[in-house]
């Protein structure tokens, strides 16, 4: 008599589950990994990313910290100096500003000021972004602050596959990293996907083409990837074939993938959810203008949040943020230039 063993059918994983898997697997792989943050232990994090982690690995490796981002990051720096790898969670990325000094003046600079002798394997991660009615204190995308701080990696995944792979890549990279998670994508069913059963990590610094196109290039990251993809669908109805590049890692930036696309489409629209002034879309436009200007048939454009805090009222929130309509109108203007 043979025994038939039934295996559960694979299921699609959402963004937050992908992040949880990354942390569990890295905690198992690396006994020197410490996780710390506000309510990440008993509560499992405000959004459940660390749920069950303390029960599995104990309070000495998954540490509930005081409500002090300066303490969370500062102690992470000290642990890293002692040979640990650290994941430091910000309950909302907006409040990372309370730990700003420790990040930009300590964490980002140690490798440089020790002539390369000291690494700083710290990943500061947390929920970011708008479109969910979080108003001005729970809707920020402040990634440009850290792109302007030499020594830091800056990452923003848009899919569950990338969320898991890039978090694992960041934890293995050895350099300090600010890891932006889009909270509106955490449990979005439409983007859930099957994840590999085998271990994988995505090296930082490589963009991905989410949609092939020939007439215009959207360059973006995070939640705006989906706005660009939807805009590309609408543009196709109007005879415009748009390519969508998800840069995934802002620092280091994969310029080659962007320039290769511009050489093909000859039109650029850079998109970020943060305000326009000094936003990362401007950095993309600047690099294309400096290094790939000969490929352009129209001025490069930016679609960003207006230079205002994010309002609470839904119509006002949507008014100030990038939208499919804004992207379609900008694309038509660009290709008709």
Residues catalogued as catalytic: 138
Distance CA 288, CA 273 (A): 20
224-237 and 324-335 helices cross at what angle (nearest 10)? Answer: 50
Closest CA to 274 of 319, 310, 326: 310
- Rg value, the chain, Cα: 20
Distance CA 56, CA 230 (A): 41
- Phi first, then psi, for residue 313 (nearest 5°) are -60, 130
Distance CA 333, CA 337 (A): 6
| Beta strands 208-211 and 33-37, pairing class | unpaired
Buried b (16+ CB within 10 A) or exposed e, 230-266: ebbeebeeeebebbbbbbbbbbebbbebbbbbbeebb
Q: Cβ(121)–Cβ(175) under 8 Å?
A: yes
SS3 label, residue 305? strand
Closest CA to 246 of 209, 301, 203: 209
Burial of 24 by CB count in 10 Å (0-12 exposed, 13-18 middle, 19+ buried)? middle
Q: Report how far Cα 76 is from the mean position of its chain's Cα atoms.
A: 21
Q: Cβ(250)–Cβ(280) under 8 Å?
A: yes
Secondary-structure breakdown of the chain: helix, strand, coil percentages, each rounded to the nearest 5: 40, 20, 40
């Amino acid at each position: 008599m043979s025994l038939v063993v039934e295996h559960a059918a694979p299921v699609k994983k959402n963004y937050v589950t992908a992040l949880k898997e990354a942390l569990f697997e890295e905690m198992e792989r690396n006994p020197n990994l410490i996780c710390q943050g506000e309510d990440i232990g008993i509560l499992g994090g405000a959004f459940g990313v660390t749920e069950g982690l303390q029960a599995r690995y104990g309070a000495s490796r998954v540490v509930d910290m005081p409500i002090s981002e300066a303490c969370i990051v500062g102690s992470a720096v000290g642990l890293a100096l002692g040979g640990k790898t650290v994941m430091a969670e910000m309950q909302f990325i907006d409040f990372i500003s309370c730990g700003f000094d420790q990040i930009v003046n300590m964490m980002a600079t140690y490798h440089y000021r020790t002539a390369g002798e000291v690494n700083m394997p710290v990943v500061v991660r947390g929920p970011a972004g708008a479109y969910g009615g979080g108003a001005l204190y729970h809707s920020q995308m402040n990634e440009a602050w850290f792109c302007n701080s030499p020594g830091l990696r800056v990452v923003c995944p848009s899919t569950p596959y990338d969320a898991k792979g890039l978090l694992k890549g960041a934890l293995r990279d050895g350099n300090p990293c600010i890891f932006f998670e889009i909270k509106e994508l955490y449990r979005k069913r439409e983007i859930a996907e099957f994840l590999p059963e085998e271990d994988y990590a995505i090296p930082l610094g490589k963009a991905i083409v989410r949609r092939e196109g020939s007439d215009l290039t959207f360059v973006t990251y995070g939640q705006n990837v989906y706005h660009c993809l939807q805009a590309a669908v609408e543009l196709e109805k109007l005879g415009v074939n748009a390519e969508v590049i998800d840069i995934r890692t802002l620092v280091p930036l994969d310029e080659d993938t962007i320039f290769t696309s511009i050489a093909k489409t000859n039109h650029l629209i850079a998109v970020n959810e943060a305000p326009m002034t000094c936003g990362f879309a401007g950095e993309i436009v600047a690099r294309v203008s400096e290094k790939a200007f000969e490929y352009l048939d129209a001025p490069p454009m930016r679609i960003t949040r207006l230079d205002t805090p994010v309002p609470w009222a839904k119509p006002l929130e949507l008014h100030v943020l990038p939208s499919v309509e804004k992207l379609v109108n900008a694309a038509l203007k660009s290709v008709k230039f």
